[in-house]
Amino acid sequence: MTRKTAVVTGASSGIGAAVARQLADAGFQVFIGARRRERLRALADEIGAVALPLDVSDAASVAAFAARVPALNVLVNNAGGALGLEPLAELDEAKWLAMYQSNVLGLARMSKALLPQLRASGAGHVVNIGSVAGLETYVGGAGYTACKHAVRAISETMRLEWLGEPIRVTEVDPGLVETEFSLVRFAGDAGRAAAVYAGLQPLTADDVADAIVWAATRPAHVNIDQIVLKPTAQARVDKIHRL
């Protein structure tokens, strides 16, 4: 029997690396992409995946990546993140554009580029990593929440446009997950990043990966539309109980 195949974008850290590991454990042949090649190679060696350089904000990089992928069962559009927490009055267009490039256009580019392979497998599945930031907003979060609201819109549109085809679409919306997300958001300020997770038990990357792999391993006629998962100590995106 041929192995099922999966692509995970942004697999060099956090949720992406955890999903790649768990999909490999579940028997998938995994293709992993990100910009930091050393990390990617180390993970590929560990789990027997195929590591390919990928910058989802670059159309040529996406095309080169897609050309290496065979018939595909699962595409996990995970690459992305937040840059900064400035209010609108201090709008930084470069950060907004970079967030839009990775979280929104990157997700759309990858999905378009790999659609032929998803069709060719006869049982395709696109898993889009959104966020509770796609369901709510918060002060200083307009740029990032706008991107994740867009992920919601695109996920729904995919389901409409591919209706009648054997392609499932799942949106996964996590709350606080302790990864490098906040370190990237705050440009390497480790103290500020640690404060985001202080006094509560956040989700781990493995918690989110577990939900993704569960959705991906349901029978082909079962489409899990959306999974929202948050730490027990988080009621809303900005309503958190800290000890």
For residue 78, state whether it binds ligand NAP (rule: CB under 6 A): yes
Question: How far apart (Å, rounded) are the C-alpha atoms in residues 154 and 148?
Answer: 10
Question: Which of these segments, 88-96, 99-107, 152-160, 186-194, binds ligand NAP (CB under 6 A)?
Answer: 99-107
> Is 138 among the residues known to form the active site?
no
CB 27 within 8 Å of CB 4: yes
Question: How far apart (Å, rounded) are the C-alpha atoms in residues 199 and 201?
Answer: 7
Q: Give the nearest distance from C-beta 6 to ligand NAP in angstroms.
A: 16
Question: How far apart (Å, rounded) are the C-alpha atoms in residues 35 and 216?
Answer: 25
Q: Give the nearest distance from C-beta 211 to ligand NAP in angstroms.
A: 12
For residue 193, state whether it binds ligand NAP (rule: CB under 6 A): no
For residue 170, state whether it binds ligand NAP (rule: CB under 6 A): no
Q: In b/e form, how buried is each residue of 133-142, taking b as 16+ CB within 10 angstroms? A: bbbbbeebbb
Q: Give the nearest distance from C-beta 218 to ligand NAP in angstroms.
A: 21
Which residues 6+ apart lie within 8 Å of 148 measured at CB? Answer: 103, 130, 131, 133, 134, 173
For residue 110, state whether it binds ligand NAP (rule: CB under 6 A): no
The residue nearest ligand NAP at its CB is 14
Question: How far apart (Å, rounded) are the C-alpha atoms in residues 6 and 20?
Answer: 8
Question: Which of these segments, 48-56, 109-117, 214-222, 233-241, binds ligand NAP (CB under 6 A)?
Answer: 48-56
Q: Which residues bind ligand NAP (CB under 6 A)?
A: 9-16, 34-36, 54-57, 78-81, 102-103, 106, 129, 131, 174, 176-177, 179-181, 184, 205
